[in-house]
């Protein structure tokens, strides 16, 4: 199986799902494919992934991710491919600071990706540098605890990021590996950080704006969330 055939299979599955939902009168989930550059790969293989994303086009692939074993290779191996992706209008998200690597983390912050993932291991100066960028951070509570990136939920950096007003979005990482769901992650956050229902709704609505969807799709999704919030409020009062 090649990268191209793998993507073709995923896209075919997505299209089948969308067609089934629409044919039965149900709204499909808003989806956009993000191709990942694995840190195990060479710079040439990273370029191959970006070239595939460009060939498939923005209507099928909306972004590029850098992920994998954070101890492998260096930022300079990927920067050329990531710059090429940006030049072709693809959004960029980077797994960053999963281990303490201040020099690489600083390079990533200077690159100004559209999103960052994890950001567990930051010095105070790098944390302040992150806050100054306002780059949204994907936070995966269960993943970070299970992999021992943080000691426990109360120690998770969600809270200082949240209190500082930095853009954060709760994510699951690999749902199968970490045996979680997005609903479970929100429940964990509510309990660990004493978040109210209004706090959770604010997180949900803001997360829509941090997606790589079009402005029209974001507006539609925000409207849908607002209507569901209203319906739940009415149901609770009845």
Q: What is the pLDDT of residues 34-53, one digit of tens each?
A: 999 999 999 999 999 999 99
pLDDT of res. 194: 98
Considering only CA atoms, give the Rg of the chain. 19
Query: How far apart are the C-alpha atoms of 42 and 49, rounded to whole Å?
Result: 11
pLDDT of res. 236: 86
CB atoms within 10 A of CB 64: 28
Confidence of residue 215 (pLDDT cuts 50, 70, 90): very high
How far lies 62's CA from each of 69, 114, 149, 222, in Å?
23, 12, 29, 19
Q: Catalytic one among 41, 48, 98, 220? A: 98
Alpha helices by DSSP H, 112-212 = 124-133, 141-146, 158-163, 175-178, 182-193, 197-209
22 has catalytic annotation: no
pLDDT of res. 59: 86
Report DSSP state, residue 178.
H
Asked if the model's pLDDT at residue 183 lies above 90, the reply is yes
Query: How far apart are the C-alpha atoms of 70 and 88, rounded to whole Å?
Result: 26
Alpha helices by DSSP H, 78-146 = 79-87, 102-111, 124-133, 141-146
pLDDT of res. 218: 96
Report DSSP state, residue 28.
P
Query: How far apart are the C-alpha atoms of 187 and 200, rounded to whole Å?
Result: 9
* Terminal alpha carbon distance of the chain: 54
Tokens of 128: 């302040």
pLDDT of res. 238: 78
- Arithmetic mean of pLDDT, 161-181: 96
Domain spans in the chain, listed from the N-terminal domain onward: 3-17+31-211
**8 Å CB contact between 121 and 151:** no
**8 Å CB contact between 135 and 108:** no
Confidence of residue 20 (pLDDT cuts 50, 70, 90): very high
Q: What is the pLDDT of residues 101-120, one digit of tens each?
A: 999 999 999 999 999 999 99
Tokens 């690489």 belong to residue: 104
Asked if the model's pLDDT at residue 26 lies above 90, the reply is yes
**8 Å CB contact between 121 and 97:** yes
CATH number of 3-17+31-211: 3.20.20.140
Please, what is the average pLDDT of the chain?
A: 96
Note the pTM of the prediction, 2 decimals: 0.94
HEC string of 69-81 equals CCCCCCHHHCHHH
Asked if the model's pLDDT at residue 58 lies above 90, the reply is no
- Arithmetic mean of pLDDT, 29-34: 93
């Amino acid at each position: 199986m090649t990268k191209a055939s793998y993507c073709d299979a995923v896209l075919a599955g997505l299209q089948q799902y969308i067609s089934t939902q629409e044919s039965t009168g149900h709204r499909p989930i808003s989806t956009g494919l993000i191709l990942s550059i694995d840190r195990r790969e060479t710079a040439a293989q990273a370029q191959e992934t970006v070239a595939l994303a460009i060939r498939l086009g923005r209507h099928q692939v909306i972004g590029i991710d850098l992920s994998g074993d954070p101890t492998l290779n260096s930022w300079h191996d990927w920067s050329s491919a990531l710059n090429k992706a940006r030049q072709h209008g693809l959004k960029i998200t980077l797994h960053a600071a999963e281990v303490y690597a201040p020099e690489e983390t600083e390079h990533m912050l200077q690159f100004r990706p559209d999103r960052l993932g994890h950001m567990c291991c930051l010095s105070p100066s790098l944390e302040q540098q992150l806050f100054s960028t306002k780059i949204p951070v994907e936070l995966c509570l269960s993943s970070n605890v299970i992999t021992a990136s943080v000691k426990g939920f109360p120690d998770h950096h969600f809270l200082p990021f949240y209190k500082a007003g930095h853009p954060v979005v709760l994510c699951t990482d690999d749902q199968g590996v970490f045996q979680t769901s997005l609903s479970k992650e929100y429940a964990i956050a509510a309990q660990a950080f004493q978040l109210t229902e209004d706090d959770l709704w604010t997180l949900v609505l803001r997360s829509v704006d941090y997606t790589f969807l079009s402005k029209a799709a974001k507006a539609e999704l925000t409207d849908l969330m607002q209507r569901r919030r209203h319906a739940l409020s009415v149901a609770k009062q009845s």
